[in-house]
C-alpha cells in the first residue's frame, strides 16, 4: 500500500471519527435538554401542587382572609407560565391550558362573591399536569 493511500485512509478515518463524535455529542446534548425540560416540568408541577394545597386552605379560610386565595391563584398562574414557556409538548400544553382555565374559573367565582368556590377542577387539572410531566 502506498504512503498516499495510507494517508488518505487515515484522513478518512479521522474525519469519520470526528463526525461520529459530533453526532454523539449532539445526541447527548439534545437528550440532556429533554431531561432538563422534563425535570423542570416535574419540579414546577410539584410547586403547583403545593400551591393548589395552599389554595384549598385559602378557600376554606376565605371569609377570614380573601387575599390568600388570590395569592395562591397568582402563584399557580406564575408557575403555569414557566411550564408553558419551557415546553413544546402538546400534552403538557393541554394540561397547562386546562389548569389555567380551572384557576380562572375559581378566580371568577371568588370575584363574584362565592366564598367557597369549587376547587375540584383545579385539583384534577393539577393532577393531570403532574401525570403528563412524569410520563
Give the residue, 79 or 25, on which the prediction is more confident.
79
pLDDT at 8 over 50: no
**Residues 43-66: what's their mean pLDDT?**
79
Q: Is the pLDDT of residue 124 over 60?
A: yes
Query: Would you say the pTM of this structure is higher than 0.75?
Result: no
C-alpha triplet 61, 68, 125: angle, nearest 5°:
90
> Above pLDDT 90, what percent of the chain?
10
**Reduced 3-state DSSP string for 70-99:** HHHHHHHHHHHHHHHHHCCCHHHHHHHHHH
Residue that wins the pLDDT comparison between 122 and 27: 122
- The 10s digit of each residue's pLDDT in 86-114 is 778 888 889 889 999 999 999 899 889 88
HSE-CB at 6 with a 13 A cutoff on CA atoms is: 3
Note whether 48 and 129 are within 8 A (CB). yes
1 in helix, strand or coil? coil
Distance between terminal CA atoms of the chain?
Answer: 56
Mean pLDDT of 125-133: 85
Amino acid at each position: 500500500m502506498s504512503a498516499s493511500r495510507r494517508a488518505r485512509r487515515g484522513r478518512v478515518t479521522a474525519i469519520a471519527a470526528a463526525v461520529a463524535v459530533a453526532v454523539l455529542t449532539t445526541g447527548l446534548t439534545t437528550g440532556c435538554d429533554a431531561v432538563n425540560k422534563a425535570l423542570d416540568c416535574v419540579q414546577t408541577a410539584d410547586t403547583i401542587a403545593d400551591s393548589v394545597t395552599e389554595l384549598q386552605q385559602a378557600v376554606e379560610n376565605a371569609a377570614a382572609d380573601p387575599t390568600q386565595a388570590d395569592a395562591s391563584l397568582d402563584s399557580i398562574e406564575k408557575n403555569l407560565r414557566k411550564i408553558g414557556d419551557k415546553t413544546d409538548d402538546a400534552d403538557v400544553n393541554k394540561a397547562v391550558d386546562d389548569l389555567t382555565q380551572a384557576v380562572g374559573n375559581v378566580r371568577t367565582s371568588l370575584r363574584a362573591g362565592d366564598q367557597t368556590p369549587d376547587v375540584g377542577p383545579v385539583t384534577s387539572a393539577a393532577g393531570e399536569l403532574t401525570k403528563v410531566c412524569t410520563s
